[in-house]
Amino acid sequence: MLRGEFCESTLVSFVSKTQKASHRNSILAGRSSGGTSELSQAVSDFRMEIETRLADGQNPSQWLAQEMQLPAEAAEQLGDYFSDAFRSLGAIPSQQRW
């Protein structure tokens, strides 16, 4: 699989896990979960977390490996993917930005 495709599939996997957790939490809180807006918000929040780390001069790979429980190689590739985007754009696109 190409590097970019691998990063995208890793992001989809993370978002899927986040959505499932969000759905479980919604059920526990007595709320119904439609999925679409929650998924969009989870992706946006994830991107903002990555941007915050990059803006602070951190490489997000270690955080991705530890907090998101990604394999080291996946975390490194995803970290590189977002680092390149941040260098090119000066920000990571999210619901809060763009």
- pLDDT of amino acid 37: 85
Q: Tell whether 26 is covered by a domain.
A: no
For the segment 19-37, the average pLDDT, to the nearest whole number, is 54
Is the pLDDT confidence value at 27 over 50?
A: no
Q: Tell whether 70 is covered by a domain.
A: yes
Closest to 58 in 3D by CA, of 83, 89, 87, 75? 83
The Cα 28–Cα 32 span in angstroms is 10
- pLDDT band for 77, please (50, 70, 90 cuts): very high
As for how many domains the chain has, the answer is 1
- pLDDT of amino acid 98: 66
Q: Tell whether 41 is covered by a domain.
A: yes
3 state SS of 22: helix
The Cα 67–Cα 55 span in angstroms is 19
Owning domain of residue 43:
1-9+34-98
CA angle 42–82–34, rounded 5-degree value:
15
Report the percent of the chain where pLDDT is more than 70: 62
